[in-house]
Amino acid sequence: MLLVGNPNVGKSTLFNSLTGARQQVTNAPGTTVELQVGVWRQGGGADPVRLIDLPGTYSLLARSPDERVTADAVAGSSRLGRADLAVVLVEAAGLARSLYLLAQVAQTGCPLVVALTMADVAASRGIPVDADRLAEVLGVPVVAVDPRTGAGIPELARTVEAALGAGPGSVAGIEAVADAAAADGADLAAGLAQAETLFGWVDEVTRQLAAPEPRARTASDRVDGVLLRPWVGVPVFLAVAWLLFQLATSLAAPLMDAVSAFVSGPVTDLARVLIPGPAWLEGFVVDGLLQGVGTVLSFAPLMAVMFLAIALLEDCGYLARAAFVADRAMRALGLDGRAVLPLVVGFGCNLPALAATRTLPHARQRLLTGLLVPYASCTARLTVYLLLASIFFPGHAGTAVFLMYVASVALIVLGGLALRRTAFRDLEQEPFVLVLPAYQRPRVRALLLSAWLRTRAFVTKAGRVIVATLAVVWVLLAVPVTGGHAVADVPVHDSLYGSAAQAIAPALAPAGFGEWHSAAALVTGFVAKEVVVGSFAQTYAVDEPSDPSQAGDLGAQMRATFEETSGGHAAAAAAAFMVFVLAYTPCVATLAEQKRLFGGRWTLGAMVVQLAVAWVLAVAVFQVGRLL
């Protein structure tokens, strides 16, 4: 059974009420579009029904991959097969739009039942809609439901059961057309003609419903009257963006630390006691696997908080207003207005920023934004800038760091323009007409459930990749290359990891930092950028400075090395190093999530391009810097 309807009509809430925890988030077969699939146990002897929550859409003439999934599912031409029944959500406050979609669903011949939502909102706006009258006019069963309170659901269950038993009905005035949904958004003349016919039908139905004139100024209008005022809209938006940023950094940090501490404390102690046999096995489990698991679990609170915050913004209705405010700026980059929030969050941490791309309704827009997120300079990279700026640009450290952020924004802009001109040339610029849903109280239980499901999906799928990668890194560090060392008790220089770093080092010579300490640090940075500073400390065998801007011993050693590799132009080499850190691949957690959201090919391709761009930029910075 399918759930079909416009975005923001309470479809997901209804889905949650019906399936409870018996659901999961998956991808529509062959796509990167998220689907929620669940089981509805109606009780009272009725068979459980497999329920699919399709992406919200305004039309079955699909213009985006998400809409395509819905259109194919309704037409029965997707790999999901033919549906037994479609429950079409009709929103009382947006009746014309909902009726248009209903007409399109009816044209495919799919049996349907109507669930009327938001009747309370409509009533408060002065336009009561009567379910019985609507059923009379349409000729199909109509049940009024309030997904938030659960009202109407038992009646919906009865209606669905009856409809599943009966044969396919039809909606008054609509004929099933053989290949209705096969008409693509691409075949425009046919699409326009078909749409016109359906609009005529919608007008006729609304005339028959004889609704009174809606109230002129609603509560939502009053809020928008303040919020969308020219000089208020932008500051409010910036405040919301700042709040999201804080959530991703300061507020999530204690939670992440707590989980980390738990895994590296009690759990590790327990593991040490339980693991038999040679020291290296214990090392592998504790420092390899457990380290990876701990890392993934420590990200879980961060992702959960971000999923929750974004869902909250969307549910209360503010997100559409934010997209409106940011649209002008984002369009200049060829991006959707909603892309601004993921990019802002990205400056805190790239990983939850990818979670925030969920708000973009178009799969290609999500991909485009997700590819640009790594160019947002996260706070982990900041620790590297602070270290190098304080060592090599004393007195101008602040300016140096600021310039890195300017470079980060420049890379996002240029990257966006480049992608738009190449891989994303086909992405049409949509006219900016955005539906502003009524503001409403967020549905907390539904939000918590959805955040939990998405976090679980992240931990299991992206988590696998992260744990595997960290285990591999441990092995590389543990295997000695020269004689005289036991496995898992090897100084970095003499391990496989060290040799790999030494092998890579010459490639970095044109950028002025071609020696193994820097190469090793960069390879570590591939795993996590926060560890770059620690890696330098480890390879020089000094203590990691607790404050990266007070480098002390480490500073002296690094200065010496950089002087040598750059032929006396240490500052230029340091600048090149910082640029490389800014632009090369994101950390493995971000890569794993990119792979989960966008697939392996795009992720790998992006990684290669980023490495190449980073190398070219670093070399350019060094060579030019040398001359100054």
Q: Is 223 in the site for another protein (CB under 8 A)?
A: no
Q: How many CB atoms lie within 10 A of CB 537?
A: 20
Q: Tokens at residue 269, please?
A: 């102690």
Q: How far is CA 307 from CA 290, 312, 345, 455, 517, in A?
A: 25, 8, 12, 8, 38
Q: Tokens at residue 300, please?
A: 């879980």
Residues contacting residue 217 through CB under 8 Å, at least 6 positions apart: none
Round to whole Å and give the CA distance between 366 and 357. Answer: 6
Kindly state the smallest distance separating residue 106's Cβ from another protein, in Å: 16
Q: Is 361 in the site for another protein (CB under 8 A)?
A: no
Round to whole Å and give the CA distance between 484 and 215. Answer: 85
Kindly state the smallest distance separating residue 359's Cβ from another protein, in Å: 16
- Would you say 98 or 357 has its CB closer to another protein? 98
Q: Which of 84, 155, 161, 221 binds another protein (CB under 8 A)?
A: 221
Secondary structure of residue 187 in the 3-state scheme: coil
> In this structure, what are the phi and psi dihedrals at residue 91, rounded to the nearest 5 degrees?
-95, 125
Residues contacting residue 183 through CB under 8 Å, at least 6 positions apart: 61, 190, 191, 194
Q: What is residue 339's DSSP assignment? A: G
Q: Which residues are registered as beta bridge partners of 89?
A: 5, 115
Q: Which of residues 399-428 bind another protein (CB under 8 A)?
A: 428
- Would you say 340 or 579 has its CB closer to another protein? 340
Q: Which of 228, 481, 509, 609 binds another protein (CB under 8 A)?
A: 228
Q: Which of 176, 188, 258, 616 binds another protein (CB under 8 A)?
A: 188
Q: Which of 59, 359, 455, 538 binds another protein (CB under 8 A)?
A: 59
The Cα diameter of the chain in Å comes to 91
- Would you say 43 or 431 has its CB closer to another protein? 431
Q: Which of residues 436-475 bind another protein (CB under 8 A)?
A: 436, 438
Round to whole Å and give the CA distance between 555 and 329. Answer: 41
Kindly state the smallest distance separating residue 181's Cβ from another protein, in Å: 14
Kindly state the smallest distance separating residue 310's Cβ from another protein, in Å: 20
Q: Which of residues 308-327 bind another protein (CB under 8 A)?
A: 320-321, 324-325, 327
Round to whole Å and give the CA distance between 208 and 596. Answer: 49
Q: Which of 96, 239, 417, 560 binds another protein (CB under 8 A)?
A: 96
Kindly state the smallest distance separating residue 243's Cβ from another protein, in Å: 21
Q: Is 192 in the site for another protein (CB under 8 A)?
A: yes
Residues contacting residue 194 through CB under 8 Å, at least 6 positions apart: 61, 180, 183
- Would you say 99 or 252 has its CB closer to another protein? 99
- Would you say 129 or 465 has its CB closer to another protein? 129
Kindly state the smallest distance separating residue 368's Cβ from another protein, in Å: 19
- Would you say 225 or 266 has its CB closer to another protein? 225
Place of tokens 């795993």: 527
CA dihedral 610, 611, 615, 616 (to 10 degrees): -40
Q: Which of 431, 441, 483, 627 binds another protein (CB under 8 A)?
A: 431
Give residues in contact with another protein (CB under 8 A). Answer: 58-59, 61, 63, 93-97, 100, 122, 125, 127, 185, 188-189, 191-192, 195, 199, 202-203, 206, 209, 211, 213-214, 216-218, 220-221, 224-225, 228-231, 233-234, 320-321, 324-325, 327-328, 428, 430-436, 438
